[in-house]
Structure 1
Amino acid sequence: MKNGRLAAFALLMIILAGCNTEARVAARRDTEIALETAREQAHVDCSSSADCERLWRLTRLYVVQRSVTPIRRADDTAIETAEPHTFGAVYVWATRTSNADGMSTIEIKGMCRGMYRADGNPGWLYGTCAEQIRSVEMEFRSFIGAAS
C-alpha cells in the first residue's frame, strides 16, 4: 500500500510539473507576442526635414527619460545608451533611417540586462524586463504625438 501511495504521489508530481511547464510556455508565448506588438508600434515616420529634426529631438528626450544609463553616442542616425551594470534595468536605443520614397523612419528599441540567458532562453528577470520594455516601446508614439 505504501508503494502505491508513493507511486501515485510521484505520478501527481509529474503531471503538475507538466502543467506548470505548459503554463510557462504559454505565458512566454503571450509575452513574446506582446513584445512583438510593442516593437511594431515603436516607430514614427516623417517626411520633411524640419519635422524629422523635431521628432529626432523628441526621440532623444524620450531615450534620456526612459533609459537608466546615459547616452554614449548620438548623431543623425543613432542614439545609443550604455548597457547598465545592474540586471533588470531597461536601456533604450533609437535609429533614424531614410527610405527610398523620401520618408524617414525613427524607431526605438528597449533592452534589458538579464532578460535572456546566453543560450537565448529566458533569463531570471524575463518577466520584469519584458513588461518594462513593452511599456517603453508602446508609449513612444504617444509621447511623440503628445509633444507635437
Structure 2
Amino acid sequence: MNWRLFPILAVAGLAACSSEARIAALRDSEIQLQQARTQAWVNCSAGADCDRLWTLTKKYVAQRSVTPIRRADDTAIETTEPHMFGAVYVWATRTTDDAGASTIRLKGMCRGMYRADGNPGWLYTSCAQQIRAVERDFRVFVGAAS
C-alpha cells in the first residue's frame, strides 16, 4: 500500500464515523425532545382546579422564558421571541371541551435551534437541552400526577 495514501484514508474513515455519530446523536436528541413534549401537558376538569393550574402555568412560563409575556388570556400565554440566539422562550395553550374539562399544553422554543431549511442549527444541542428541561419539569412544577 502506498504510505502516503494511508493518512488520507484514515481521515476519510474518521470523518464517516464522525458523521454517523452526529446523526445518531441528533436522532437520540429528537427522540428525547419528543418524549419531553408528550409529557408537557396537564388535564383538569373542575373550573377552580383548572384556573389554579393555569395560574401556575403562567408563573412557570414567566420564570422559564428569557422574554416577558406579551399576551395572556384564558386560552394562551405567549412570550415575545428573543432577539438573541440560543435563548428559550415558552408558550402555553389551554383548550376546554364542552364538558368543561381542560388540557393545558406547554411548548418551549429556541431561536437558532433549526436552520431555515429545517435542519439542525448551530445552537441545536444547547437549545434541545434547555427545551427538554423546561418541558420535562412542567408537570412537577404544577403538581400534576404522573
Q: Where on the TM-score scale, by shorter chain, does this alignment land: which range?
A: over 0.9
Q: Which residue of 2 aligns with 1:95?
A: 93
Measure the CA separation in 2 of the matches of 1:5 and 1:73. Answer: 66
Q: Which residue of 2 aligns with 1:138?
A: 136
Measure the CA separation in 1 of the matches of 2:139 and 2:62. Answer: 16
Greater share of residues in helix:
1
Structure 2 stretches lacking a partner, 5+ long:
none
Amino acid at match of 1:56: W
Give the alignment partner of residue 79 of structure 2, picking from 78, 81, 89: 81
Q: Which residue of 2 aligns with 1:18?
A: 16
Amino acid at match of 1:57: T
Measure the CA separation in 1 of the matches of 2:26 and 2:79. Answer: 27
Q: Which residue of 1 aligns with 2:30?
A: 32
CA RMSD of aligned residues (A): 1.3
TM superposition outliers: structure 1 runs of 4+ over 3 Å: 99-102
TM-score calculated relative to the size of structure 2: 0.95
More displaced, 92-101 or 68-77? 92-101
Count of matched residue positions in the alignment of Structure 1 and Structure 2: 144
Q: Which residue of 1 aligns with 2:58?
A: 60
Measure the CA separation in 2 of the matches of 1:33 and 1:129. Answer: 14
Q: Post-superposition shift, 1:6?
A: 2.4
Taking only the aligned residue pairs, the percentage that are identical comes to 67
Tell me the SS of whatever aligns to 2:142: helix
TM-score calculated relative to the size of structure 1: 0.93
Measure the CA separation in 1 of the matches of 2:75 and 2:41. Answer: 14
- 1:35-78: CA deviation from partner (whole Å, max 9, x where unpaired): 00000010000001111111000000000000000011111100
Query: Are the aligned partners of 2:47 and 2:100 in contact in 1 as well (CA < 8 Å)?
Result: no
Give the alignment partner of residue 112 of structure 1, picking from 90, 106, 110: 110
